[in-house]
């Protein structure tokens, strides 16, 4: 059996529908456990005080903001190369989730930055590239709604997604490229020396799992929605023809 | 019940409140759109079935 069989809309819906409630309940459980653990049962940081609790929202949302764009890049490339409609619709479905994650990362970063850096905002490489990523999400969603023909919209948004990927990569590695920014380097690392202390790391891992599951659940649900709307439009067009 | 957040209480609580609001809003909008799409497709399919006899 080939993975491309799932590019069939009917097969996609039939396969994902039974999985969806499990993914959503898993997301809810992980988010509830991770956020309650992080908020109520972890100590304050010796330098950052209680603001360290913002970590459990800021880091997972920022990770998701970048990785969702990467997922959109992959599905856009699949659309451009293999012309599978489900992949184009999955990219379209992921964009609103990505923009919410980007907004969340920007907001939590600002309220964390104010007491720590003394400013809500700085034109720091990571912050600026994140703002540009937010604008790319906006532009991507606007382009989908501005073009009537679905295939043309999928083509043009795929090209926009490829261009925006530069900023998704910049958002991730900006602190490594330029050292003059306010933003610190990666908080999470496989290297134990660089990583945050375990007392913060374990609840953060549960939160990240929750964010990933929430994204998977929502992208499945929203892709199914797009498939159904597209089918309804096609049937209506056939009836009026 | 709420831990002592000290002088940063406003920042921490607002971060949690806005984030949870955004996440719940996203889930609500997605579920509502999914239900509407199901209803729309069903209505169109019924219409087509009635037309085709």
The answer to whether residue A16 scores a pLDDT higher than 70 is yes
Contacts of A57 in chain B (CB under 8 A): 15-16, 19
Task: Count Cβ atoms below 10 Å from residue B4 Cβ, excluding itself.
Answer: 7
Give B1-53 pLDDT, tens digit per residue.
678 888 999 999 999 999 999 999 999 999 999 999 999 999 999 998 998 87
Considering the domain boundaries, does residue B5 fall inside one? no
Considering the domain boundaries, does residue B39 fall inside one? yes
The answer to whether residue A117 scores a pLDDT higher than 90 is no
> In chain A, where does DSSP find H-type helix?
9-40, 55-82, 85-117, 125-146, 150-177, 198-240
Model pTM score:
0.92
Give me the DSSP letters along B15-52: HHHHHHHHHHHHHHHHHHHHHHHHHHHHHHHHHHHHHH
Residues A96, A177 contacting (CB under 8 angstroms): no
Give A208-225 pLDDT, tens digit per residue.
999 999 999 999 999 999
A57, A52, A50, A60: which is closest to A200 by C-alpha?
A52
Q: What is the pLDDT of residue A44?
A: 87
The alpha carbon of residue A35 is apart from the nearest alpha carbon of chain B, in Å, by: 9
Give A74-91 pLDDT, tens digit per residue.
999 999 999 999 999 999
More confidently predicted of A186 and A224: A224
Provide the phi-psi class of B6: left if phi over 0, else alpha when psi is between -120 and 50, else beta.
left
pLDDT (average), residues A187-209 = 80
Q: Out of A118-122, A152-156, A165-169, A178-182, give the one with best mean pLDDT.
A: A152-156
Give the Cα separation of A106 and A100 in Å (integer). 10
The pLDDT-based confidence of A226 (bands split at 50, 70, 90) is very high
pLDDT (average), residues A196-205 = 89
The answer to whether residue A69 scores a pLDDT higher than 80 is yes
Q: What is the pLDDT of residue A85?
A: 92
Angle at the Cα of A80 (from B34 to A67), degrees rounded to 5? Answer: 60
Q: How large is the greatest C-alpha to C-alpha distance in chain A, in angstroms?
A: 70
More confidently predicted of A190 and A159: A159
More confidently predicted of A38 and A195: A38
HSE (side-chain half, CA atoms, 13 Å) at A140: 32
The pLDDT-based confidence of A190 (bands split at 50, 70, 90) is low
Considering the domain boundaries, does residue B13 fall inside one? no
More confidently predicted of A180 and A230: A230
Residues A126, A191 contacting (CB under 8 angstroms): no
Return the residue in A38, A232, A239, A241 with the most chain B beta carbons within 10 A, the one to mutate for interface testing: A232
Identify the structural domains of chain A with CATH numbers, from first to last: 20-240 (1.20.120)
Residues A27, A214 contacting (CB under 8 angstroms): yes
A165, A225, A182, A208: which is closest to A16 by C-alpha?
A225
CB contact B24 to A (< 8 Å)? no
The alpha carbon of residue B24 is apart from the nearest alpha carbon of chain A, in Å, by: 11
Taking one residue from A and the other from B, the number of pairs with CB-CB distance under 8 angstroms is 99
pLDDT (average), residues A55-75 = 96
Q: Which residues form the domain of B30?
A: 26-53
Considering the domain boundaries, does residue B45 fall inside one? yes
For the question of an ipTM over 0.90, the answer is yes
Give the Cα separation of A184 and A83 in Å (integer). 41
Residues 30-49 of B with CB under 8 A from A: 30-31, 33-34, 37-38, 40-41, 44-45, 47-48
The answer to whether residue A177 scores a pLDDT higher than 70 is no
Give the Cα separation of A53 and A25 in Å (integer). 24
pLDDT (average), residues A110-124 = 90
Q: What is the pLDDT of residue A216?
A: 98
Question: Can you tell me which residue has the tokens 């729309």?
Answer: B40
More confidently predicted of A190 and A232: A232
Tally of structural domains, chain B: 1
Size of chain A in residues: 241
Residues A102, A133 contacting (CB under 8 angstroms): yes
């Amino acid at each position: 059996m080939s993975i491309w069989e799932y590019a069939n809309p009917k097969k996609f819906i039939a396969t994902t529908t039974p999985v969806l409630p499990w993914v959503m309940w898993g997301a809810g459980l992980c988010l509830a456990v991770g956020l309650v653990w992080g908020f109520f049962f972890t100590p304050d940081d010796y330098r950052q005080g209680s603001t360290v609790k913002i970590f459990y929202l800021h880091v997972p949302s920022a990770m998701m903001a970048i990785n969702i764009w990467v997922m959109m890049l992959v599905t856009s490339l699949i659309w451009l190369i293999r012309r599978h409609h489900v992949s184009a619709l999955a990219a379209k479905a992921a964009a609103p989730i990505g923009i919410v994650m980007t907004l969340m990362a920007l907001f939590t970063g600002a309220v964390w930055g104010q007491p720590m850096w003394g400013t809500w905002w700085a034109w720091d490489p990571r912050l600026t590239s994140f703002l540009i990523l937010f604008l790319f999400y906006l532009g991507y969603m606007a382009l989908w709604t501005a073009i009537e023909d679905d295939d043309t919209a999928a083509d043009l948004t795929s090209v926009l997604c490829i261009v925006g990927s530069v900023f998704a990569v910049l958002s991730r590695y900006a602190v490594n490229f330029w050292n003059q920014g306010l933003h610190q380097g990666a908080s999470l690392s496989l290297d134990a020396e660089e990583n945050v202390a375990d007392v913060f790391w374990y609840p953060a891992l549960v939160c990240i799992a929750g964010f990933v599951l929430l994204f998977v659940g929502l992208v499945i649900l929203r892709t199914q929605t797009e498939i159904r709307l597209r089918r309804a439009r096609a049937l209506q067009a056939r009836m009026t023809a | 019940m709420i831990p002592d957040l000290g002088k940063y209480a406003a920042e921490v609580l607002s971060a949690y409140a806005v984030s949870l609001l955004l996440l719940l809003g996203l889930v609500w909008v997605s579920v509502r759109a999914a239900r509407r799409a199901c209803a729309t497709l069903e209505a169109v399919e019924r219409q087509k079935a009635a037309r085709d006899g």
